[in-house]
Amino acid sequence: MMGGGTGACATLNSFYPRTVDDNIRDKKERLRFMPASIELERRLRWADSDAAGRLHFPRIFELIEEAESELVRSIDWPMNRTLGYDFPRVHVECRFLRILELDALFRLRLTVGKLGRTSIRYDYQVFNAGNELAIEGTMTIVTLQNGKPTEIPPTLRSALSGERA
């Protein structure tokens, strides 16, 4: 028995498979609320590499901020402070799984992983030219106004959560 229902009802429901319309409706609902994300493809530049010709580890955070900037631009949120908000980083995590070499192609995916009351957690993955996961992690920022944590503005929350009218 599931969910307090009767065994007969659970068995009876299994005789009526989901229709194509049910599946399409569910898929549209999931797509309607997909969190904002962006993918950037580029080559590892000389400025991003160390003396051994590999990604210099702190540069990943600059690449993530570049992706974040592009994501914010794509949802039409101003990159400057004209609305009076600041978004400092409060936590970052990073796991290096494979080497990215100088001039190699890679793809960075940044997705809104979680929206808190005042915080935004981004999840990121970097894939090498062979489409293998090379780097993964998270970056959490907090919304400040006048130097104090404040709720994520409704228009920003809506855009980042993927809600569409």
Residue boundaries of the structural domains of the chain: 1-32, 36-161
What pLDDT band is residue 18 in, cutting at 50, 70 and 90?
A: very low
Residue 81's pLDDT band (cuts 50, 70, 90): confident
pLDDT, tens digit (0-9, with 9 covering 90-100), for 49-63: 999 999 999 999 999
Residue 8 tokens read as 């007969």
Fold annotation for 36-161? Thiol Ester Dehydrase; Chain A (3.10.129)
| Measured distance CA(79)–CA(73) in Å, rounded | 7
Q: Is 118's pLDDT higher than 70?
A: yes
0.85 cut: is pTM over it?
A: no
Within 8 A by CB and 6+ apart from 91, the residues are: 138, 139, 140
Looking from the CA of 39 toward its CB, the CA atoms found within 13 Å total 6
Q: How much is the pLDDT for 28?
A: 47
